[in-house]
A and B are shown apart, each in its own frame.
Chain A
């Protein structure tokens, strides 16, 4: 990056009357080159809030991080019933999840998103929870289809089916259907991306962020 990018941004007043410097994205990245803020950047997000003026960078980092997260949702290669077939179809060439930057990832440790695609039985639920806990944060869950949301057609007169995956792990987006069509699933993913883009880094910097329901 050249020195020409090292220019101060605009100075604006927000609605609360505080002044903050508006850096462009490229100007922020320039801080990597030997400036004193490098140490600050390397400790994002935990210490960033505590630094004077840190919120200037934090605001921009929110956008960068959220944009990168939302644009590269790697979802867990995992499905339990007929919804998984619809999920596979969405990942295949006709609907093509890749154009949203989404690819299958077979390891929970490197996946951001879990589609709960299909019926979850009481026997299966602890295993799903283990998979969820193995995913690193930030992690997201999309409940796909009637079974994952509320037990689906197995709601009544059954002994084996869990009545909603949100009894075990927190869910970000619900996609109804039995099973949902690929268009619905993609719509759900776009909703999730919108949700990710609204997140704040400070939400993740403390232990008070999202926690799975203890059960």
Chain B
């Protein structure tokens, strides 16, 4: 499965997906759970409280070296709550990791990982702004995508239809 990928330019051995996941599950025991998303994708579910700890580990660990945050997305699952999805990759080794954090829809909260990954700053602000996910410990939760005086809820939530300029698609 890895054969199609090029080897790492500096010759560091590349971990297989299951090795990445097993490394995390051994380290964090029941705080991390393996997810089966796609055969080529290493993915784990992490408890909300232990996210900064996991982020610190995957960045600092010599084998993992996941030092780059590619994206952070909020996901609204309606009855199944909400999720934050983090995509990490390594700039020195050719592997990636997806981390999902399950959130309560009534009170979505997740700790910030800015200390570990400063690039997470705007992604987390975006999730706060558009999904209403409270980012605990974020130094600057201010709007930058919506207008400054926005007071019409969180437009990326699936049940959002409250804006004064909002026109719902008619049902055919």
Residues of A within 8 A of B (CB): 122-123, 155-160, 162-163
Residues of B within 8 A of A158 (CB): 166
Residues of A within 8 A of B169 (CB): 156-157
Partner of B168, one of A123, A156, A160, A163: A156
Q: Is the CB of B163 within 8 A of A159?
A: yes
Can you give 11 A-B contacts (C-beta < 8 A)? A122-B146, A122-B147, A123-B146, A156-B168, A157-B166, A157-B169, A158-B166, A159-B155, A160-B146, A160-B155, A162-B165
Q: Give the CA-CA distance A123 to B147 in the complex, in Å.
A: 5
Q: Is the CB of B160 within 8 A of A159?
A: yes
| Apart from the given pairs A156-B169, A159-B152, A163-B167, 14 other A-B contacts in the complex at a CB distance below 8 Å | A122-B146, A122-B147, A122-B165, A123-B147, A156-B168, A156-B170, A157-B166, A157-B167, A158-B166, A159-B146, A159-B155, A159-B165, A160-B146, A162-B165
Q: Give the CA-CA distance A62 to B143 in the complex, in Å.
A: 50
B10 at the A interface (CB under 8 A): no
Within 8 A of A (CB), among B130-172: 145-147, 152, 155, 160, 163, 165-170
Partner of A156, one of B145, B147, B155, B167: B167
Which size bracket describes the interface of B in this complex? 10 to 19
Residues of A within 8 A of B147 (CB): 122-123
Residues of A within 8 A of B145 (CB): 123
Q: Give the CA-CA distance A160 to B145 in the complex, in Å.
A: 9
Partner of A157, one of B146, B152, B168: B168
Residues of A within 8 A of B163 (CB): 159
B137 to chain A, nearest CB (A): 27
Q: Give the CA-CA distance A159 to B168 in the complex, in Å.
A: 10
Residues of A within 8 A of B155 (CB): 159-160
The 6 closest A-B CB pairs, nearest first, are A159-B155, A156-B169, A157-B169, A156-B167, A159-B163, A122-B147
Q: Give the CA-CA distance A163 to B147 in the complex, in Å.
A: 16
Q: Give the CA-CA distance A159 to B155 in the complex, in Å.
A: 6
Specify the chain B residue showing the minimal Cβ separation from A163: B165
Specify the chain A residue showing the minimal Cβ separation from B169: A156
Q: Give the CA-CA distance A158 to B166 in the complex, in Å.
A: 6
Q: Give the CA-CA distance A187 to B165 in the complex, in Å.
A: 32
Residues of B within 8 A of A157 (CB): 166-169
Residues of B within 8 A of A122 (CB): 146-147, 165
Q: Give the CA-CA distance A87 to B145 in the complex, in Å.
A: 27
Residues of A within 8 A of B167 (CB): 155-157, 163
A153 to chain B, nearest CB (A): 11
Specify the chain B residue showing the minimal Cβ separation from A159: B155
Residues of B within 8 A of A162 (CB): 165
Q: Give the CA-CA distance A159 to B170 in the complex, in Å.
A: 16
Q: Give the CA-CA distance A157 to B166 in the complex, in Å.
A: 6
A122 to chain B, nearest CB (A): 5
A124 to chain B, nearest CB (A): 10
A116 to chain B, nearest CB (A): 18
Q: Give the CA-CA distance A122 to B165 in the complex, in Å.
A: 10
B158 to chain A, nearest CB (A): 11
Q: What per-residue 1/0 map shows which CB atoms of B19-35 lie under 8 Å from chain A?
A: 00000000000000000
Residues of A within 8 A of B146 (CB): 122-123, 159-160
A188 to chain B, nearest CB (A): 26
